[in-house]
Amino acid sequence: MPEKTKRVRMIYFEDIRMGVQPVSPEIVVDGNEMLNYNFKYDPWPFHIDEEAAKSTPFGSLIASGGYTISLAYFLSHKIYNNSESLWVFLGRINSKLTFPVPVHTKDKLRYTLEVINKRPSKDHRRGIVNILETLTNQNDEVVFTAESIMLIATRLKVK
């Protein structure tokens, strides 16, 4: 007898609650993956040359901002696009990014999503959700934030 397929719970605008959502699992920054990304997309010496990086305030190689964003997006899917539930996400309107502390190889990172505001859109098929995304390391230092405005579908069916 075939196994029953588990249905993913669709999360619409009306379902999204204010406040902090569950925190993601932790990941460890893979040095080879980080270096490959840096070489391909952001080859500043402090991203790709260990000797050059030693002479910077960072003291060693650091992750590119793009790589850091990729890690945050990867972990965000553990919260709003996973085997249990899926936000009916329509896109981002805007994001304000910060990188207060650099990410290093072997850092242990976790992601937190906080819904800070939500309101219906003029187009009743979607709502506007303001979120604060935070990526922190093993020392509880914030390494990345994004204040973003997202569009989320509503359950409302417009005729």
Residues 75 and 23: their CA atoms lie apart, in Å, by 9
Asked if 111 and 22 touch (Cβ cutoff 8 Å), the reply is no
Query: For each of the chain's 159 residues, which pLDDT tens digit applies?
Result: 555 567 889 999 999 999 988 899 999 999 999 999 999 999 999 999 999 999 999 999 999 999 999 999 999 999 888 888 899 999 999 999 999 999 999 999 999 999 999 999 999 999 999 999 999 999 999 999 999 999 999 997 654
The closest alpha carbon to 20, from 159, 153, 136, 131, belongs to 131
pTM confidence score:
0.89
User: What whole-number distance in Å separates Cα of residue 117 and Cα of residue 145?
Assistant: 16
Q: Domains, the chain, ranges and CATH?
A: 9-153 (3.10.129.10)
